[in-house]
């Protein structure tokens, strides 16, 4: 092997190492984005939910103090979880598709269109409860209870974390498109 071929081979090895290092940085950046998004969303949603709950208590206390449900904090937490799940799902679609507009369309389809299609199919009621928004509505007790709350939390967590893990795995793969 002559010196020019060795230098070219060395450059190719260095390029592969550089791509791997870039993929590790992107993976860390994606994890950081997910962590910041989750923290910010939870903080804002619990703060807004808590203020709304407090305001509702003050306003309704004059008329009927029992108007607000006693498990309001559970509802506030469930609402925050559902919104964080949707935000992380959108983040994962954005990372996978590399196009914000397409990611929003896919997110809306997954949350709103696909459940309508699934529920119109024979046996769709059995599968429909495991779609993201249906599980979220189960947590919020907006639908007839067809699954325990722990199962609904697990379904929401899976819909948030599995696509995010796939996006991280794809961005980590050598040769993946860098941002």
Q: Give percent above pLDDT 90 in the chain.
A: 12
Q: How far is CA 52 from CA 68, 71, 76, 118, 138, in A?
A: 11, 14, 10, 34, 21
Global confidence as pTM: 0.68
CB 112 within 8 A of CB 137: no
Q: How far apart are CA 59 and CA 78, in angstroms?
A: 23
> How far from chain centre, in Å, is Cα 175?
25
Q: What is the CA radius of gyration of the chain?
A: 23
Give Dmax over CA atoms of the chain in angstroms: 91
- Could you tell me which residue, 34 or 86, shows the higher pLDDT? 86
CB 139 within 8 A of CB 148: no
Q: 120-148 pLDDT, tens per residue? A: 999 888 888 889 888 888 888 766 677 88
> How far from chain centre, in Å, is Cα 108?
13
Q: In the chain, where are the structural domains located?
A: 8-172
- Answer yes or no: is pLDDT of 2 > 80: no
- Answer yes or no: is pLDDT of 9 > 70: no
Q: How far apart are CA 89 and CA 112, in angstroms?
A: 13
Quote the tokens at residue 107: 């997110």
Q: How far apart are CA 101 and CA 105, in angstroms?
A: 6
Mean pLDDT of 110-125: 89
């Amino acid at each position: 092997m002559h010196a020019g071929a060795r230098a070219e081979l060395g450059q190719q090895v260095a390029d592969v190492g550089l791509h791997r290092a870039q993929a590790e940085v992107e993976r860390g950046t994606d994890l950081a984005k997910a962590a910041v998004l989750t923290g910010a969303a939870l903080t804002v949603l619990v703060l807004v939910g808590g203020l709304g709950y407090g305001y509702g208590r003050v306003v309704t206390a004059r008329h009927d103090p029992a108007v607000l449900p006693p498990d309001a904090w559970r509802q506030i937490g469930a609402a925050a979880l559902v919104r964080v799940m949707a935000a992380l799902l959108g983040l994962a679609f954005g990372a996978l598709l590399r196009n914000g507009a397409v990611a929003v369309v896919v997110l809306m389809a997954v949350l709103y269109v696909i459940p309508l299609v699934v529920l119109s199919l024979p046996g769709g009621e059995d599968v429909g409860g495991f779609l993201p928004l249906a599980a979220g509505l189960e947590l919020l007790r907006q639908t007839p209870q067809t699954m325990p709350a722990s199962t609904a939390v697990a379904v929401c967590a899976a819909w948030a974390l599995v696509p995010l893990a796939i996006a991280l795995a794809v961005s980590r793969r050598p040769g993946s498109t860098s941002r």
